[in-house]
Structure 1
Amino acid sequence: MSATKKRCFVVMGFGIKTDYINGRKLDLNKSYRLLIKPVVEAKGIECVRADEITHSGSIDVQMYQELLQADLVIADLSTLNANALYELGVRHALRPYTTIVISENKLMYPFDLNHVVIHSYQHLGDAIDYEEVERFRAALGNVIQTVVDKNEADSPVYTYLNSLIPPKLQAEIEKAVSESEKKEAEPEVGKALSLIIQEAEDAIESKNFAKARDLFQTAVFLSGSHTGQKDTYLIHRLAFTTYKAAQPDLVTSLYKSLELLKSIDLDHTNDPETVSSAGAVEKKLYESGEGDEHLENSILYYQRSYYLLNNRYNGINLAMTLIYHATSNLVKSDQDRIADLIFAQRTWKRVLYLCERDWAMIEQKEKNDLPLINAGGKDGQELQEYYNTQKYWILVNRAEASFGLGDFGMFEKFKEESKNIPQHTWQLESFTEQMGKLSAELKKVGHLLEPKWVAPN
């Protein structure tokens, strides 16, 4: 620890995590980067999260060292992350004060946290409103100043056991760290987990999926998979890059990806990201000719994630798999085919409703963030790219749903509007490929509908 500069250790998950109570996905990296780190550093305090710690030996030893010695700990309990809750408990047992607890405002607090002051912020899932960023930064800054200026117990352990004396284990900790660093070197020793993950994401952006896969494999190892701990976010990214790398071939990589998802309790989990990822892999296995059972699995996974999240992505893919089902060998009668078609149409109608809902929300969020966007800079540019991406997918989802419903006028309208939104080449390729598949399948069974679905000229 630095003798001249205070240090803050941030206890929280990283990446995109799911709140299993309400099914919401939260980008915790945005919480850290936008709401916490800049406020702490503005106070002249060094700020570090577990994934930023340089790996030289056991991360557990370094984590416990931070929980005991850090001048300030901020614990974000959003999504009720089990590790964060445990680490907060350890901090409360070790230090009587200088611990701040925060969370996003839809967190369902466990009973045992009712006596802990929790400062809340509003998280919109994959983004945080600019006005909320400004509000919470100011609020957190005031809390930090109060906490570091006053030696008042914020730990319920020391509040209720007011004669308890905090432990002093400096010599033991330094010995444990020293012994840990002497152990045999592991992959990417000396590099922080956050840097490895960022390199992996950069590799995805440049379409170097094999490199990204190898980096995520290292990240999974460093995060504790060799000890039985598995971070679902990293497994999701590893599964994605594994099948995108298509090595030694696509089918083999898809099966490897599926095994990774099974390792995080695919059959029983309520994590919609895990389930929808499995739906995508099973869908690709069916499209690759690996058998009808993969189509049935894909439908089940997309149904689970669609009903859990009530979102456009899973709705669009569920409808597509239902159309596949109507044209597959699994269906033996026109009556069953019609049932699939009607279910798909109901899903498309729901997708159009969700698109309308999401468009209004995105427009309002973008309006609130215009000051930051217009100011330019990295944050402004990132926000603009985020809104462009959201608008593009809403428009092509509208186009696809309209096409499936036989409303070709609206299909053309939304498709043309999507061309006015800045996009990546792969986004257009993905949409075009999906529409080609949908059109080919509907041409086989569209005549069973009333009125008949007839492909446009």
Structure 2
Amino acid sequence: MGFGKKTDFETNRVLDLDKSYRYMIKPAVEAAGLKCIRADEIVHSGLIDVPMYEQLLKADVVIADLSTSNKNAFYELGVRHALRPFTTIIIAEDGIKAFPFDINHITIRKYHHLGEDIGFEEVMRFREQLTDAIVKIMQVTPRAMDSPVYTYLTGLTPPEIAAAVQSIVQESVDKSSEEQNRGSNKINTELADTALKSETHSALMAKADEAQKKGDWDTAKTVLSLIYQMMKDEIPKKTDLNPFIIQEDPYILQRLALATYKSKIPDEKTALLDAQKLLNTLNPETSNDSETLGLWGAIHKRLWEITKDKIFLDKAVHSYERGFYIMNDHYNGINYAFLLNVRASQSTVPAQAIADYITARNARREVLIICEQWLKNNPLPDAGKVPESILTGCLKNWYWVKATMGEAYLGLEDEEKAKIVLEDAYKSAPEGWMKTSTEEQLEKLRPLLDDSPLKFIRSDV
């Protein structure tokens, strides 16, 4: 499966696949009495390919989550089907519109993802279904074939790792380990040295998550830089095999760019420009990845506020506009509308200022429709029926949707509705800084509305 947040380009939704794994897949597998391992949890030195292929051959059960049509997951599913005739389970988020011909006749178990989170009832439903499937598959003797390779090409014998081949594999791992340890002294921090030798990708990501939650962006940046460097260290080995391999993992680069500009080290402007360079690798000017576009917009919005260079303002407007019309989401939409008001206030051409102002109003109307539909589809769960961690995640998402609605109503000069919606949001804000952040944004918006460019329209026209 994919790691982290990935964009499903069929639906233009961003799914947090780590939530799928932590909330549903891993608990379901363990409830069936098995140990669950994802590739980022494998301790290894050198190429991850060696233990990954070994697991695809040896694992008693393999679960392939094809959500977001992840290319690696599809390829690894094919490898598993070629290596083993049975005990492979395919799952996917139900937003996938169509599966490739080669697997559309195979059983695929589906779950519903909300994007940033998964509903508690859905978590429990799918856990039970997946555990039940694993138990039943393991109990059947002889086991039923689920690989189309062995179903249609009868008489095939599944391969095994011979002793000689196993020796070669181990020798490769040992050699890679020695090379990795020799190279580790290039990184001048104790954390980096320790992690290179012993920590998994998953463990390092957990450290980055913990630092980010505490607002310790410097530590988050250090850990994510290490992960990024470890991935880059493998590039020469992989490009020897295939020079056309895509080098970058968008999720890691996005996280690193966020931590870089939030750290404000050595100073805010330099940190923003460093984050800009990192994201440039993902071609943000033409990208359809909403996470990349959102970060690109945020970076240039802040660069505009610091420098007042109109180039940064135009880049931010363009990025949020693309994100809004690709994703049809409230985050990009409300930022797009705000920056249009900013640009209107800076314009010396009345017609252009009026055009931006009207476009901002139209965007806010669309944002309100999106928010209302989201609230209808995602009612808050009963506090007594869900774990606190899940309730907090739901409240955060709910708060930002409500706060966005409040800003949209204010931008449409409907003070009464804005007040009602914002009061509703504030009383349920799970963290105090969220209300402060919203109020600061509204204070920036009010003077832009007071100096409306509609004053240039003559009453007799």
TM-score (normalised: structure 2): 0.88
Going from structure 1 to structure 2, the CA distance change for 1:146 and 1:435 (only over 3 Å counts) comes to: same
Q: Residue 113 of structure 1 aligns to a residue in which SS?
A: coil
Report the Cα distance in structure 1 between the residues aligned to 2:290 and 2:436, rounded to whole angstroms: 25
Aligned match of 1:191: 199
Letter in 2 for 1:48: I
- Aligned residue among 176, 182, 186 for 1:180: 176
Structure 2 counterpart of 1:279 = 297
d(CA) in 1 for partners of 2:45, 2:366: 51
Shift in alpha-carbon separation, 1:398–1:72, aligned structure 2, 3 A: same
Can you list the C-alpha shifts for 1:307-329, whole angstroms capped at 9, x where unaligned? 1111111111000110111122x
Deviation per CA, 1:165-202: give whole Å up to 9, x if none: 22222532333333333332244221121121111111
SS at match of 2:128: helix
- Once the two structures are TM-superposed, the CA of residue 418 in structure 1 deviates from its matched residue by 2.4
2:89 is equivalent to residue 100 of structure 1: yes
Correspondent of 2:23 among 24, 30, 34: 34
- Whole-angstrom CA distance in 2 between matches of 1:450 and 1:217: 53
| Residues 56-110 of structure 1, C-alpha deviations (whole Å, 9 max, x = no match) | 3322212112112111111101001111111111111222222111111121312
Q: CA distance change for structure 1 residues 143 and 337 in 2, over 3 Å: closer, same or farther?
A: same
The CA deviation at 1:352 is 1.9
Instruction: Note if contact 1:334-1:448 (Cα within 8 Å) is conserved in structure 2.
Output: no
Find the aligned partners of 1:80 and 1:223 in 2 and give their Cα distance.
22
The residue that corresponds to 1:4 in the other structure is: none
- Residue 114 of structure 2 is matched in structure 1 by 124
Structure 1 unmatched runs, 5+? 1-11, 453-457
**Structure 2 CA distance for partners of 1:102 and 1:61, relative to 1, 3 Å:** same
Query: Structure 2: any 5+ residue segments left out of the alignment?
Result: 185-191, 236-245
CA distance 1:167–1:53, change in 2 (3 Å): same
Q: Which amino acid aligns with 1:307?
A: Y
Instruction: Trace 1:389-408 onto structure 2 (pairs within 5 A).
Output: 389-408=396-415
Preserved contact between residue 193 and residue 222 of structure 1 (Cα < 8 Å): no
Change (3 A) 1:69 1:224: farther
Matches within 5 A, 1:77-226: 77-107=66-96, 108-150=98-140, 151-171=143-163, 172=165, 173-185=169-181, 186=184, 187=192, 188-189=195-196, 190-223=198-231, 226=234
Contact 2:406 2:422 in 1 (8 A): yes
Aligned length: 430
| Letter aligned with residue 445 of structure 1 | S
| Match of residue 382 from structure 1 | 389
Contact 1:76–1:102 under 8 Å retained in 2: yes
Deviations 1:135-168 (A, max 9, x none): 2222212221232234332222222222222222
**Residue 305, structure 1, aligned to residue 312, structure 2:** no
Other-structure match for 2:367: 351
Q: Secondary structure at the match of 1:182?
A: helix
Q: How does 1:63-78 map to 2 (within 5 A)?
A: 63-78=52-67
Q: Any residues of structure 2 matched to 1:433-452 within 5 Å, and which?
A: 433-445=440-452, 448=455
Q: 1:375 to 1:352 in 2, by over 3 A?
A: closer
The DSSP-based 3-state class of the residue aligned with 1:163 is coil
Question: In structure 1, what residue type is equivalent to 2:448?
Answer: E
Which deviates more, 181-190 or 30-39? 181-190
- Over the aligned positions, Cα root-mean-square deviation in angstroms equals 2.2
Matches within 5 A, 1:262-277: 262-277=280-295
CA deviations over 1:288-316 (Å, ceiling 9, x no partner): 11521111111111111101111111111
Q: Does the aligned pair in 2 maintain the 1:61–1:180 contact within 8 Å?
A: no
Aligned to 2:189: none
Residue 243 of structure 1: how far off its partner (Å): 0.3
The residue that corresponds to 1:360 in the other structure is 376
Instruction: Give the partner amino acid of 1:386.
Output: G
Q: In structure 1, the residue corresponding to 2:102 is in which secondary structure?
A: helix
CA distance in 2, matches of 1:149, 1:231: 39
**Aligned equivalent of 1:333, options 349, 354, 361:** 349
Instruction: Tell me if the contact between 1:74 and 1:99 (Cα under 8 Å) persists in the aligned partners.
Output: yes
Which residue of structure 1 aligns with residue 275 of structure 2?
A: 257
